């Protein structure tokens, strides 16, 4: 492919004119189509996508639409490519880019804020006031790949340099896709206060974010870390990632069990990753007075909350979206230092061409699937060369 003169490329990484990309049609319907390879603009790079992890939010977008917003509305039948937890290799540099080199392996954050609204200037780019305003004659510069712009279920994608995270050479492609998930957990703990060494933490819900929430909390020095859930196999993985106590809520009352472990007191923090109807109220019963709750899950509908209990007990409630405040960089550092083994939550890998089957595994939890990854065909050979 011939790139503009102000875009740097390398003969070692030839770029085709077109690529294969999964395109969303009606709800739940994806088709593999040809799309032009995108061209990086100022402060952007072109990433050759090597691997993509499937997130529960991808399933929500594919089957229901929100929280994606394309051309001012839902994402269906608009030529949209979903997928946001991807990693790959830098193959072209847009104008002004010297922070990265062609051939470097990177993983990506989702959000690139507009850089001009109040929230972006505060560093809260995941709360950009111009979210989704990048269509038609309105383009404020905000990008959220896989949400408001094309995502990673394809072969190449353009990313702002602000979204890139260097990946350690020894990190596998599959592990690198999990950096974003760990970054979300890191962001939640950052918003709760950041310094959690010696503080007590409950994580509710042993999905990917919850399990890595346990790992990050323990790596930050939390004591004890308590994990609640309904599946013994996932609770066991939680133990391997650092949980001091696990509670199967099918067998015992979670609030009573937490208070028993804490000798009648509540904990300092709860990271709520379950999204269940009564999750917030249970979290409020688990924390001590003055405690803090982070909401990291999307409930499927409106949920009742005992606000009076929150007020009487001076309980703080935080909502997070994505992996803001550069938390993904800190999560990658922990993974680079082997503070925890994120690969424990990776259960299945499929070729990119088999994305529908991979999505089925993730959606239906086939074979106890937790984190399912799809890989492009060029990734295996590239990683083999890197290993040599």
Query: Are 284 and 308 in contact, with CB atoms under 8 Å apart?
Result: no
Which positions ≥6 away from 112 have C-beta within 8 Å? 125, 141, 142, 143, 144, 159, 160, 162, 163
Give the pLDDT score at 241.
98
Query: Are 215 and 245 in contact, with CB atoms under 8 Å apart?
Result: no
Phi, psi dihedrals of residue 326, rounded to the nearest 5° = 60, 25
What token pair was written down for 252? 């015992």
**First and final C-alpha spacing in the chain:** 29
Give the pLDDT score at 388.
46
The count of other CB atoms within 10 Å of the CB of residue 3 is: 16
Query: Mind giving me the DSSP string for 37-103?
Result: PP---TTEEEEEEEEEE--HHHHHHHHT-TT--BTTB--TTS------EEEEEEEEE-TT--SS-TT
Q: Which domains does the chain have, with CATH numbers?
A: 18-110+145-166+341-387 (3.90.180.10), 181-319 (3.40.50.720)
Handedness of CA 333, 338, 342, 343 (dihedral sign): positive
Query: Are 45 and 161 in contact, with CB atoms under 8 Å apart?
Result: yes
Q: Which helix (H) or strand (E) covers residue 237, if one does?
A: helix 232-240
Cα separation of 86 and 361, whole Å? Answer: 18
Tens-digit pLDDT string for the chain (388 aa): 789 999 999 999 999 999 999 999 999 999 999 999 999 999 999 999 999 999 999 999 999 999 999 998 999 999 999 999 999 999 999 999 999 999 999 999 999 999 999 999 999 999 999 999 988 888 999 999 999 999 999 999 999 999 999 999 999 999 999 999 999 999 999 999 988 999 999 999 999 999 999 999 999 999 999 999 999 999 999 999 999 999 999 999 999 999 999 999 999 999 999 999 999 999 999 999 999 999 999 887 888 999 999 999 999 999 998 898 899 999 999 999 999 999 999 999 999 999 999 999 999 999 999 999 999 998 655 554 444 4
Residue of 300, 238, 302 whose CA lies nearest to 271:
238
Give the pLDDT score at 383.
52
Cα separation of 269 and 31, whole Å? Answer: 43
Cα separation of 371 and 382, whole Å? Answer: 22
HSE on the CB side for 387, CA within 13 Å? Answer: 9
Which positions ≥6 away from 114 have C-beta within 8 Å? 120, 128, 129, 130, 133, 140, 141, 142
């Amino acid at each position: 492919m011939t790139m503009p003169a102000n875009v740097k490329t390398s003969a070692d990484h030839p770029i085709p004119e077109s690529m294969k990309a999964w395109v969303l049609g009606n709800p739940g319907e994806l088709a593999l189509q040809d799309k032009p390879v995108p061209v990086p603009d100022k402060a952007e790079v072109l990433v050759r996508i090597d691997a993509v992890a499937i997130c529960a939010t991808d399933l929500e977008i594919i089957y229901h639409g929100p929280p994606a917003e394309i051309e001012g509305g839902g994402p269906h039948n608009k030529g949209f490519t979903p997928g946001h937890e991807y990693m790959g290799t830098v193959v072209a540099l847009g104008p002004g880019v010297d922070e990265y080199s062609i051939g470097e392996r990177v993983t990506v954050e989702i959000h690139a804020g507009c850089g001009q609204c109040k929230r972006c200037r505060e560093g809260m780019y995941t709360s950009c006031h111009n979210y989704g305003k990048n269509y038609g004659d309105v383009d404020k510069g905000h990008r959220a790949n896989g949400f408001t712009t094309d995502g990673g279920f394809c072969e190449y994608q353009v990313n702002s340099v602000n979204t890139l995270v260097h990946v350690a050479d020894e990190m596998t492609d599959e592990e690198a896709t999990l950096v974003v998930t760990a970054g979300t957990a890191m962001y939640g703990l950052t918003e709760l206060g950041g310094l959690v060494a010696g503080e007590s933490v409950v994580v509710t819900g042993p999905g990917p974010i919850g399990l890595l929430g346990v790992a990050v909390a323990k790596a930050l020095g939390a004591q004890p870390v308590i994990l609640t859930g309904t599946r013994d196999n996932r609770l066991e993985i939680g133990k391997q990632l650092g949980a001091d106590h696990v509670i199967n809520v099918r067998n015992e009352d979670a609030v009573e069990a937490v208070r028993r472990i804490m000798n009648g007191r509540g904990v300092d923090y709860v990271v709520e990753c379950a999204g269940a109807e009564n999750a917030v109220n249970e979290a409020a019963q688990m924390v001590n007075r003055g405690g803090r709750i982070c909401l990291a899950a999307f409930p499927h509908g409106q949920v009742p909350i005992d606000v009076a209990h929150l007020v009487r007990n001076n309980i703080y409630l935080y909502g997070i979206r994505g992996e803001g405040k550069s938390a993904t960089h800190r999560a990658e550092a922990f993974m680079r230092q082997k503070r925890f083994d994120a690969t424990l939550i990776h259960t299945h890998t499929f070729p990119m061409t088999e994305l529908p089957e991979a999505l089925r595994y993730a959606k239906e939890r086939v074979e106890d699937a937790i984190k399912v990854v799809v890989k492009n065909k060029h990734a295996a050979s590239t990683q083999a060369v890197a290993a040599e």
